[in-house]
Amino acid sequence: MNKNKGYLLVLGTAIISGVSIFVNQFGVKIINSDIFAGLKNFAVAGILLCLIFWFKEWKLLAKLKIKEWGTLVLIGLVGGSIPFLLFFRGLSLTSGSTTSFVHKTMFLYVIILAALFLKEKINKNLVIGASLLLFGNMLLLKIFNGFQFGYGEFLVLIATVLWAAEQIISKKALENISPKIVAWGRMFFGFLFIFIFWAATGQVQLLGGLGAAELSWVWITAVFLLGYVLTWYSGLKYIKVSTAVCILSLGAPITSLLEMAQKGIFDWHIFSGSLLMFFGVAVVLNLISKFKKTKALNFEF
């Protein structure tokens, strides 16, 4: 039951991620990407702290050991600050779908890291499903017709590798720390590191020049980020991180389908690539085999 709950929560994360990347590319065009990343973290950290008190988890927060606080700080650095700065800088230099492709290759790095550090097995379904996900991603962005890997994509790639490392750290942290507190630690300490970056680069004064339009985009996208971290960490607690990131990869076709709808065109690369990726996740989850068994049981009955 908990495993199914985890699958549904992470599927929700994938949907939020796909829509979020599509929406974020508009917001990052009108506001400094570093300020954008930091303010979103600050807003989400504040909301999460309120939720922690609302659900009376502040007692758990108070009982955290020094080592656990250190883990939260590390998650904030590796997952909540440096990669955000790199990701949104890269997003401002490229398209949402291209960024989504690079970002969604995270499952490859996580699978390898999970096998090395969490001893998660790489089985046949995972290999086949991951291959389908990668091939589907290539179709989405017409890699075979020539894919330009520029500076923006390079920044997103570094952010993606860091986020992959964060997933391994977070999975271990969730054994002893609640999902809300892990999410809060990522956002709060991530914001502190970003603020230090603002101060070091002389960007703090930019806050005074923000208008209603910029702040509106911060809050709109912060809602997506809040939904993302809440569903992701809550789901990750119950399922393997390698499986979770494969499901998360469905964010890529969602972003691409939204862009296709925005342009009012039909692109068979996007459509076929999306189908392939959904099929890949079905293979990872062994849904086809389960469906056949269910069908056989119904037939016997």
Residue 264 belongs to some domain of the structure? no
Which residues form the domain of 12?
Answer: 2-126+148-241
Q: What is the pLDDT of residue 239?
A: 97
Residue 97 belongs to some domain of the structure? yes
Residue 85 belongs to some domain of the structure? yes
Q: What is the pLDDT of residue 193?
A: 96
CA dist., res. 225 & res. 9, Å (int): 14
Residue 49 belongs to some domain of the structure? yes
**Mean per-residue pLDDT pooled into runs of 10, the chain (301 residues):** 91 94 81 90 96 91 94 96 88 70 87 96 95 90 70 91 96 96 97 96 92 92 96 97 95 87 87 94 84 50 43
Which helix (H) or strand (E) is 225 found in, with range? helix 212-236
Q: How many domains does the chain have?
A: 1
Residue 168 belongs to some domain of the structure? yes
Q: Tokens 């490229």 map to which residue? A: 94
Q: What is the pLDDT of residue 163?
A: 94
Which helix (H) or strand (E) is 68 found in, with range? helix 66-78
Residue 96 belongs to some domain of the structure? yes
Residue 136 belongs to some domain of the structure? no
Residue 79 belongs to some domain of the structure? yes
Q: What is the pLDDT of residue 297?
A: 44
Q: Which own/partner pairs from 99-102 qualify as long-range (CB within 8 Å, at least 24 positions apart)?
A: 99/21, 99/25, 99/152, 99/153, 99/156, 100/18, 100/21, 100/251, 100/252, 100/255, 100/256, 101/137, 101/138, 101/140, 101/141, 101/143, 101/252, 102/153, 102/156, 102/157, 102/160
